Amino acid sequence: MKDIRYIFAIKEAMEEEMERDENVFLVGEDVGLAEGSFGASRGLYDKFGPDRVIDTPISELGFTSMAAGAASCGLRPIVEIMFMDFVTCCMDSIVNQIAKMRYMFGNQYSVPIVVRMPEGGGLNAGPQHSQCLEAWFAHVPGLKVVMASTPYDVKGLLKSSIRDDNPVIFIENKTLHAMKGSIPEEDFTIPLGKADIKREGSDVTIVTASRMVHESLKAADALAEEGISLEVIDLMTIQPWDRETVFNSIGKTHRLVTAHEAVKQFGFGAEISAAVTEEILDELDAPIMRVGAPFVPASYSLEKFYVPGADDVKNAVRKTMERSF
């Protein structure tokens, strides 16, 4: 095992897959000579050259559409969107082309594209550089959506995403980039669509992903002192999400809290809550509680009040513990 920062685990995953498969290439703004806005492609331009680490003009629609064509011809592009907010400029190529091509052409070819994008607050970057928009893509048939919370997870999931023959939206929370963690020296992957129980518990199930996994674990430590035992489930892949792991946990705890950094309304927590209500309502002993940001644009000066954290998780857990059907 070795210790590595989250951002360099991303770099290692891309480098190893580019070494393994000559069809893998990286494209985006400043991914080459500048080595990526957050350093994720450090050294890759020197190692693989301009034909496989491609700097582009500021045209997300242009280079994402180019990647769609490349994938349909047998290549495996990794597209970096500098900030998730900028994906609004290429929604046509992702939603109307990449997500639908395999369906529209009768499965005659695959569309192996990974679109990487950092999301979220924590850097006081303002409302146009801090949004969490994963629910948009989880709502689009044909796309897989991945959100990794640790260096180990981000490397294993990214390698699996690059090898997948379907388009994957790969979301990184910016505040996790500097996080250190241990990963194996040898090659490894983590399957898409499988959740991970980051902490076992008996009283309340928390279903979460990305940065909010760590906030939920902080809340679990604090609530343990109050005699409340939390089971923290890291979805890792929110589309498709691991119903079996979530439902089995609720069958044990009989209470559910969902937590994500995105605004609470219409987030992936709402989808999970609806599915639980429809399919295993009898397992619940109390109303489901949801944690998310307020329904306003991401704040600059008041960001610490806007972004949900451990205190919000604790309050939601206490509410569901206080209530019953």
pLDDT in tens, 155-181: 999 999 999 999 999 999 999 999 999
pLDDT > 70 fraction of the chain, expressed in percent and rounded = 100
**For residue 257, what pLDDT is reported?**
98
| 32 has pLDDT over 90 | yes
Residue 190 covered by a domain: no
Residue 96, pLDDT above cutoff 90: yes
pTM, full prediction: 0.97
Based on the residue annotation, tell me whether 60 is a catalytic residue of this protein.
yes
Summarised one tens digit per residue, pLDDT across range 243-267 is: 999 999 999 999 999 999 999 999 9
pLDDT tens, position by position, 135-147: 999 999 999 999 9
- The reply to whether 156 and 46 lie within a common domain is yes
55 shares its domain with 82? yes
Q: Are residues 162 and 294 in the same domain?
A: no
Both 165 and 248 in one domain: the answer is no
User: What pLDDT is attached to residue 300?
Assistant: 82
Residue 302 pLDDT greater than 90, yes or no: no
Question: What is the reported pLDDT for 299?
Answer: 84
Whether residue 214 lies in the annotated active site: no
Q: In terms of domains, do 158 and 117 share one?
A: yes
Tell whether 226 and 313 lie within a shared domain.
yes
Catalytic residue among 15, 35, 129, 254: 129
- Residue 148: its pLDDT value, please? 98
Domain extent at residue 112: 2-183
Set 17, 29, 60, 231: catalytic member = 60
Domain boundary among 148, 183, 218: 183
Residue 118 and residue 6 in one domain: yes
pLDDT at 109 over 90: no
Q: Copy the structure tokens of residue 142.
A: 């044909």
